[in-house]
Amino acid sequence: MKIRHKIWNSFCGRSFVILFLSGVLLMGVFYQVSAAPSFQSSDDGQDIFEVMCVSCHSVGGGVIVGPDLKGVLERRDRNWVRGFISMPDQILASDDPIAMDMLIEFNNIPMPNLGLTETDVEALLAFLEGGESVAPVVVDLPAGDFDQGEAIFTGGKVLTEGGTPCIACHSVGTFSALGGGNLGPDLTHVYDRFGKVGLVSAIQNIAFPTMQGVYEGKDLTDQEIADLLAFFTTVDVEGVEKNTSALFWIVGLLGAGALFGIMAYYWPRQRETLSDRLRKDAGITSRRHS
Ligand code: HEC
Ligand code: HEC
């Protein structure tokens, strides 16, 4: 009892106890992290596919955002496929002819780098080789509403699960000139580029690495997705027009105000200098004449 008190009371002893406890805590954290599911075994290829790839690809179910991957290992070199799955961004940036052709065919949508490990990629290759089909996830969405979708995009309406509003990182035609983040691409014509199925699929099972962290455990509801879809469908067609008409009024009003201000400020002087000049021309030297 006495000894324990002594140890605790001495400065060194206390630091030691605190250090020891922190160590135990840290070990706990590391254990948790390493115990988190990490896709290691090659049998897990399908699991990885169903988490990371299904929002953009099917196997034997047709094009979604990217190509149907049925038979991809028969039509392409295995090493090429391995490289493309591991680092599509670098392959696309290297002007690889196959990747370039695909990029054009798939509406200029680059496959994002999903940060897969070598083991993940091998598991995926094994899975794609197996020829198992994976159909696109079909969702029956409720009817969407443009105004609700706009409010969700801008953060006027809070997402049910608390996800960040899209405008933090994206702009669309309607808002681009007035703000909207630019960490992510402009989404004005995202409906046209992704198509309905692709867009729903990509938002529902978020397919973009930067967004995945932010929306982890904060899935959008079907109603929210439907409203966003209604919003994107409209801005795709009207984005620029809406933008110009809304901006027209704002810029017009601001411009008119500024013009009046400038006129009020400069006109008297302008008149003065003009009259000065006229007087000079007429040979009158005094500025003021009675
Ligand atoms: C955000 C959508 C998206 C996600 C997620 C995605 N891809 Fe892709 N993928 C594409 C697009 C689009 C292409 C076509 C090339 C391009 O435009 O970059 C493509 C091309 C490919 C190709 C080449 C196909 C061919 O015909 O040569 C392979 C292989 C591939 N993806 C595998 C995967 C795998 C495996 C995953 C999951 C780990 C995945 N992709 C996740 C969009 C995606
Ligand atoms: C934290 C920032 C962030 C937020 C918030 C965010 N996004 Fe994204 N989004 C990105 C980034 C960055 C990309 C580009 C791909 C990548 O790097 O992951 C992207 C890509 C996209 C794409 C593909 C666009 C293309 O042209 O390839 C769509 C669609 C999309 N986001 C929709 C949304 C929607 C809908 C919301 C709101 C519900 C949203 N995003 C919220 C950062 C964000």
166-207 pLDDT tens trace: 999 999 876 655 567 888 999 999 999 999 889 999 998 898
46 lines ligand 2 (CB under 6 A): no
Using the atom order of ligand 2, give the atom closest to the CA of residue 193: 26
- Protein residue closest via CA to atom 24 of ligand 2: 185
Asked whether 70 and 59 are in contact (CB, 8 A), the reply is yes
| Dist. CA 201–CA 194, nearest whole Å | 9
- Sign of torsion over alpha carbons 62, 64, 67, 73: negative
The distance in angstroms from the start CA to the end CA of the chain is 107
| Ligand 2 pocket, residue 184 CB under 6 Å | yes
Do 42-130 and 146-244 share a fold? yes
Q: List, in sequence order, every residue forming a beta bridge with 65; answer none if it has no partner.
A: none
Report which listed range, 46-55, 84-93, 196-205, is most confident. Answer: 84-93
Pick the CATH number of 42-130 from 3.40.630.10, 1.20.120.1760, 3.40.30.10, 1.10.760.10: 1.10.760.10
The residue ranges of every structural domain in the chain are: 2-35, 42-130, 146-244
> Quick check: CB of 123 below 6 Å from ligand 2?
no
The closest residue, in CA terms, to atom 17 on ligand 2 is 210
Q: Cβ(113)–Cβ(93) under 8 Å?
A: no
**Domain 146-244 is found in CATH 3.40.50.1000:** no
Distance in Å, CA 120 to ligand 2 centroid: 24
Q: Is the CB of 166 under 6 A from ligand 2?
A: yes
Amino acid at residue number 101:
D
Residues with CB under 6 A from ligand 1: 52-53, 55-57, 65-67, 69, 72, 76, 81, 84-85, 88, 92, 102-103, 106, 109-112, 114, 116, 124, 202, 207
Crossing angle of helices 78-86 and 118-130, in 10° steps, is 130
Among the residue ranges 122-126, 203-207, 220-224, 242-246, the one predicted with the least confidence is 242-246
The helix or strand, by DSSP H or E, that contains position 8, with its residue range, turns out to be helix 2-9
Q: How many CB atoms lie within 10 A of CB 83?
A: 17
Is residue 1 very low, low, confident or very high in pLDDT (cuts 50, 70, 90)? very low
The pLDDT tens digits for 199-237 are: 999 998 898 999 998 999 999 999 999 999 999 999 998
> Which residue CA neighbors atom 39 of ligand 1 most closely?
53
- The whole-angstrom separation of Cα 273 and Cα 264 is 15
Q: How confident is the model at residue 138 (pLDDT cuts 50, 70, 90)?
A: confident
Query: 0.75 cut: is pTM over it?
Result: no
CA neighbor of 175 nearest in space, from 129, 244, 110: 244
CA of 55 to the centre of ligand 1 (A): 10
- For residue 51, what pLDDT band results from cuts at 50, 70 and 90? confident
